Amino acid sequence: MQVKISLLSGVVLGAPIWLYQLWAFVNPALHKKERRTTYIFVVIATPLFVTGVTLAYLILPNAVQILLGFTPNNLSNLVRFDEYLDFVLRLIIIFGLAFILPVFLTALNLLGLISGKSILRPWRIAVFFLLSFYRRIYSNTRPYNYDNIGNSTLLDLLQCRTFCIVSRS
């Protein structure tokens, strides 16, 4: 547990250094238009990721209270810290990534790597894998929890696809 917390702290505190190193490695290979698109992507995605993380942090007490509320009255919960930490980290990362997914797809469209029509071409496969992914993340909760976040992410993908098609026209 101490190693896990130390590793996580090191990744978070060292993020400016390793992100700069990653950017210094990728930057020379980019053309001017790609570099400009990358700057725009970072400027938009950072506040969205922070918003997703903040939303996850704000709903965390309610989520824990609801999950602990499933315990019968004559029993008590003993939640291990490592399980709680895993739950919190998963919740925060998933919410952060869910908020930046449409921006990431739009940036790939603007770079010419994917077309707007191809984002949802295999929509049945996307729905299956998206809901399977959320089901795995929310494996101990009720089905409507992962359906809600899955449906909202699918709606974001549809909006992203529409934006990409309109922006290319």
Integer Cα distance of 169 and 134 in angstroms: 34
Write down the mean pLDDT value for the chain.
77
Q: Are residues 88 and 140 in the same domain?
A: yes
Q: Are residues 38 and 89 in the same domain?
A: yes
Q: Are residues 23 and 36 in the same domain?
A: no
Q: Alpha carbon of 112 to those of 20, 33, 34, 118: distances in Å? A: 25, 11, 10, 12
Q: What are 59-84's pLDDT values in tens digits?
A: 888 878 877 777 788 888 888 888 88
Confidence (pLDDT) at 148: 64
Q: What are 101-114's pLDDT values in tens digits?
A: 788 777 777 777 87
Q: Are residues 47 and 71 in the same domain?
A: yes
Q: What does the pLDDT average to over 159-169?
A: 67
Q: What is the pTM of this model?
A: 0.65
Confidence (pLDDT) at 50: 85
Q: Are residues 18 and 48 in the same domain?
A: no
Q: Are residues 115 and 149 in the same domain?
A: yes
Residue 85 structural domain: 31-168
Q: What does the pLDDT average to over 41-52?
A: 84
What angle do the packed helices 15-26 and 2-13 form, to 10 degrees? 50
Judge whether residue 127 has pLDDT over 80. no
Judge whether residue 143 has pLDDT over 70. no
Number of domains in the chain: 2
Q: Are residues 25 and 37 in the same domain?
A: no
Q: Are residues 77 and 105 in the same domain?
A: yes
Q: What does the pLDDT average to over 32-44?
A: 83
pLDDT band at 24 (very low <50, low <70, confident <90, very high): confident
Q: Where are the alpha helices (DSSP H) in the chain?
A: 2-13, 15-26, 32-68, 81-110, 116-119, 123-137, 143-168
Q: Are residues 17 and 48 in the same domain?
A: no
Q: Are residues 100 and 20 in the same domain?
A: no
Q: What are 79-95's pLDDT values in tens digits?
A: 888 888 888 888 888 88
Q: Are residues 18 and 100 in the same domain?
A: no
Q: Are residues 85 and 21 in the same domain?
A: no
Confidence (pLDDT) at 47: 86
